[in-house]
Structure 1
Amino acid sequence: MTEFVLVGGPFTGGWMWEEVAGRLREAGERVWPVTLDGAPDAGLATHIAELSRIVDRIEAPRVVLVGHDYGIHPVLGAADRRPERIARVVHVAAGLPRDGDTARQLVRDETVRTRLAHDDAPVRPPQGRAWERWGSTAGLSAEALGRLDRLAVPQPAATFTEPLRLTGAAQRLPATAVLCTADGPGIDTVEMLVRSGPPQFRELAGPRVSYFELPTGHWPMLSRPDELAEVLIKAAAGEGHRIAAPDDDPAGHRETFLLDPPEAPRERVGRLDLHLPRADRPRPAVLFVHGGPVDPTHRPTPRDTPFFLGYGRYAASRGVVGATLDHRLHALTDYAKAAEDVAEAVDRLRADPRVDPDRIALWFFSAGGLLAADWLAAPPPWLRCLALTYPVLAPPPGWETVDARFRPVAALRGAGRLNTVLTRAGREHPSFAATVGQFLDAATECGATVEVLDVPHGRHGFELLDHSEESRAAVERAMTAVTRLLDT
């Protein structure tokens, strides 16, 4: 028998787990739905101490701690103090806090996050549509939303602002993540981050961590209680999807670009590489901007990967200078640094005598799409084209730490007559695809010129993952569109 301790997010209590707890008890499990101390002076340390005492009272040797949203902070704190008692930690629509992190960092409501920086009054619960500012309400019935409104209580401010202190014991315990795909990224996005993201994401790979997906919003205990109960039972049994560690995934080292353009002379200037076409006069240029976050220690760096070598050489074969760079998007808080690097690369590119400074295109990929905001908001006259391939065009749920400046959906109103070429992958991550939909809606509303190239069967990163005729044709169509606009 497993004993489940269920800890909810802010404003909630044990009542939120009522249906899940019932299903677990029907399956023969013992359940402890927890309502944490809501006193105005309570803090994260208060809640960790409460959970630790609950663990101490449980006689069964196997305890599974389940944390939803903010609840993962006290769950990890208690697990770190009682690691010998914990069989598994389950994250439900929750972040991955580390030692020193605060729950405030992951508050999605920007107004509340700002207020918590200087105000220690309890945070009043949202009401009605305002719940959307704390997480997706997809899948919630009107009755469930009414329950949230009726039963929610103020959350003590210190629970958001006290840093989580961990010794490392909790990070060595078996863990499971329940990803709610209407609320944030799914397993494929996590796999992408493990493969190319910052070092901390490597902890998400290997046999210790398992994954489940639920097609619902931020409160699955209210929208999908049966499925969530089933997932928790499977998680306790050690089931779930595993992600191979990068060193265990040799396919990652065999990735090749889907086209085979001829090598072109390549010159390196600081962060910038130039792939040069055969030409006797200055040529147009396209700067390829990678996504991220990217582990700064990862080798090869983006411009030396088959992906960007392929794009740079292909541009040169089409008679334009293909420029690639390594920018400093190493964390979601680094967009301003990365934007500086892109601006510097553009200046270097335009100053090169082999480049026509009045015919430049910028081509953004994946999460690098957020860096397009500056150029959409005030496009210079020499920017002939802006290209976007399976881009992120607004911060998805969970990316609230991205600076408010980087919102291409909002910046599009300033684009004027700038031409944009957007390559859309049909099998895109849902949270990324939603931002593309928002961008196209905004383009229709403000009359911006966006040429959409669809790749119905393409995945995010199809140039490496899908060597199909459809994918090859998509890259050729996109390059043709960009070079045509550079020549106008």
Structure 2
Amino acid sequence: MTLFILVAGAFTGPYVWRDTAARLAAEGAEVHTVALTGLGGRPAGPGEAVDLETHIADVVAVIDSVPVEHCGDIVLVGHDYGIHPALGAADRRARSIARIVHLDSGMPRDGVPALAAVPDQRLREELAGGGGERTGELPPPARDAWSRWGSTAGLSEAALDRLTALAAPQPLGTLLQPLRLTGAVAAVPVTGVLCTGNGPGIEMVQLMVDLGEPAVQALADPHVTFFELPTGHWPMLSRPVELAEVLTEAAAGGGHRLKAADAAEPPPHLRPFLLDVAERPRERTGNTDLYLPDGPGPHPAVVFVHGGPVPAGARPTPRDWPTLTGYARYVAGHGAVAATLDHRLHALTDYERAAEDVRAAVERVRADPRVDAERIALWFFSGGGPLTADWLAAPPAWLRCLAASYPILAPLPSWGLRGPRFRPVRAVAQAGKLPIVLVRAGREMAEIAATVEEFLAAARRCGAGVEVVDVPEGRHGFETLGPTDEARDAVRRAVEAVLARLTA
């Protein structure tokens, strides 16, 4: 018999598990829901400081209440903030735990407080600015403010009403006290359940592994499995039956395993470009490379902006990746200057400085006497998509075309980006007559495809001029995932469309 211990997230308590727990029990499992102090458990005593260690002790107490014959069979599930006390308890009782399930939660590390996983960047800054004060409570979200903590996609009006009515204040000490781990928990198998209505799915996590992000390399371990649920951040309320099924499969060791890096084979983003393009000389200045066409000029220019986040230590850097060098050589061979650059989008908090890097590189390109400064196109890829917002919102006269390939065109809910900037879906309303070329991958990740469709709907409403180049069988980053006639044709058509706008 499988024994589940379920730990709820911030502001919530055992009540959120009602339907999922009932389904698990109906399938023959034993289920315990943890009542954390102040969040459905005992109230804090007068003057008692409730912190992460308090909640770890709550989970340990439930683990210790399990009959000896079931020790070693426990599947410990932590949702959202709940993964922090769950991991802390598992580290102290590692021999009792068969598997830990991260339910739409982060990857807590020793010495890091739960505050680091709060999605809303502004809220993190506000709480961190309190000088580390651990007393007091954070009021629960109002009904229309739960999205600051995760996507409410899939929640019925009744479920959102109940979530709001039963929410409790979160003791600040639980978010500010660092998690302390001895390392014993590292031996326990792990499953991640990714809610794609809130953040990245399995394919995007695999991309991060391929890029060499150190923090995610451990996710390719054979003892780590993954599942996806097409819903928002509270699947126990929006998809309780499906969640129960996933937890049952996870307990049995099922799930998708990521592919570890193979030293004998380059990762997908470093495989050859799908077109056979001739080598061309390049000039490197700072973070920018220029590929020059034949003839004296001045020539129009296309500036290629890579996606991300890309780990700061990734080598080669993006401007040397086959996709960018392939496009740059191809464009230069067709009469335009091509520029590639490295920008500092190393984390989701880096969009502002990445935008500064891009703007500086564009001005550097425009200042080159071999470039026609009044005929410039910008071409963005993947996670560079949010950087298009500045240019869409106020396109300069010299910007003759904006292109984007398999872009993310709205921040994912789990990113925590607030404010109007870096939201192309909104910015396109100010694009005016700026020509836009959008390369759409037919086999795109669902969470990214949703942002593309949202952008196109917004563009139709405001009459923006968007030309879509479809690659029906194309995947994210299709240029290096294996050449096909369809993909080659799409690249040629996209380049032709951009160059046509530059020379019009």
Alignment partners' CA distance in 1, 2:397 and 2:442: 33
Structure 1 position 438 matched with structure 2 position 454:
yes
Which residue of the other structure, out of 417, 421, 437, is the alignment partner of 1:405?
421
Residue among 360, 375, 391 paired with 1:344:
360
Structure 1 distance, partners of 2:160, 2:296, is 67
Write out aligned runs for 1:443-458 (5 A).
443-458=459-474
Find the partner of 1:198 among 178, 199, 213. 213
1:335/1:403 contact within 8 Å kept: no
- 2:58 equivalent to 1:50: yes
1:183 partnered with 2:198: yes
Deviation at 1:457, TM superposition (A): 2.4
| Partner residue, 1:152 | 167
CA contact (8 A) 1:290 1:365 kept: yes
Which letter maps to 1:25?
A: A
TM-score between the two structures when normalised by the length of structure 1: 0.92
Change (3 A) 1:298 1:113: closer
Which consecutive unaligned segments of at least 5 residues does structure 2 have?
A: none
Root mean square deviation of aligned Cα: 2.5
Matched residues in 2 for 1:394 and 1:81: separation?
41
- Kept in 1: contact 2:120–2:417 (CA 8 A): no
Paired amino acid for 1:451: E
* C-alpha distance 445-311 of structure 1, shift in aligned 2 (>3 A): same
Q: Is the 8 A contact 1:455 1:470 kept in 2?
A: yes
Mean Cα deviation higher: 264-273 or 241-250? 241-250
In the alignment, what sits opposite 2:386? 370
Tell me the amino acid that sits aligned with residue 407 of structure 1: R
How far apart are the structure 2 equivalents of 1:426 and 1:300? 28
Greater Cα offset, 160-169 or 232-241: 160-169
C-alpha separation in 2, matches of 1:29 and 1:210: 21
Identify the residue that residue 210 of structure 1 maps to in structure 2: 225
Helix, strand or coil at the partner of 1:327: coil
Q: Verify the 8 A CA contact 1:198 1:331 in the aligned structure 2.
A: no
Aligned residue number for residue 165 of structure 1 = 180
Say if 2:297 is the partner of 1:281.
Answer: yes
Deviates more, 1:40-49 or 1:117-126: 117-126
Partner Cα distance (2:346, 2:198) in 1:
23
Cα distance in 2 between the residues matched to 1:486 and 1:156 = 57
What pairs up with 1:206-355 in 2 under 5 angstroms?
206-247=221-262, 250=265, 252=267, 255-355=271-371
Question: SS at the partner of 1:84?
Answer: helix
Q: 1:416 to 1:166 in 2, by over 3 A?
A: farther
Number of residues of Structure 1 aligned to a counterpart in Structure 2 = 488
Q: For residue 248 of structure 1, report the CA deviation from its aligned partner.
A: 6.3
Normalising by structure 2, what TM-score?
Answer: 0.89
| 1:76 to 2:92 alignment | no
Aligned residues: percent identity? 58
Paired with 1:180 and 1:188, the residues of 2 have a C-alpha distance of: 13
Task: Measure the CA separation in 2 of the matches of 1:371 and 1:480.
Answer: 23
1:90 positional shift: 0.4
Distance between the aligned counterparts of 1:436 and 1:155, measured in 2?
A: 36
SS in 2 for 1:394: coil
Question: Which range moved further: 203-212 or 368-377?
Answer: 368-377
Indicate which of 424, 429, 441 corresponds to 2:440: 424
The alpha-carbon distance between structure 1 residues 143 and 382, as it changes in their structure 2 partners (threshold 3 A), is closer
Deviates more, 1:193-202 or 1:50-59: 50-59
Residue range with higher mean Cα deviation, 306-315 or 39-48: 39-48
Offset, 1:111: 6.9
CA 1:399/1:55 → structure 2, altered by over 3 Å: closer, same or farther? same
CA contact (8 A) 1:106 1:398 kept: no
Match of 2:152 in 1: 137
> Would you say the 8 A contact 1:234–1:240 is kept in 2?
yes
> Could you list the runs of 4 or more consecutive aligned residues of structure 1 that deviate by over 6 angstroms after TM superposition?
none
Q: Could you say which residue in structure 2 is the equivalent of 1:33? A: 33
| Cα distance in 1 between the residues matched to 2:351 and 2:121 | 17
AA at the equivalent of 1:10: A
Q: Cα gap change, 1:451/1:100 in structure 2, threshold over 3 Å: closer, same or farther?
A: farther
Q: Distance in 1 between matches of 2:387 and 2:92?
A: 41
Does the CA contact (< 8 Å) of 1:16 and 1:221 recur in 2?
A: yes
- Given that 2:308 and 2:384 are in contact with CA atoms closer than 8 Å, whether structure 1 keeps it comes out as yes
Indicate yes or no: 2:460 matched with 1:459: no
The 3 A distance-change label for structure 1 pair 249 and 205 is farther
The equivalences for 1:468-483 within 5 A come to: 468-483=484-499
CA–CA distance in structure 1, aligned partners of residues 207 and 295 of structure 2: 38
Shift, 1:197, TM fit: 5.2
Paired residue type of 2:477: G
State the SS of the aligned residue for 2:467.
strand
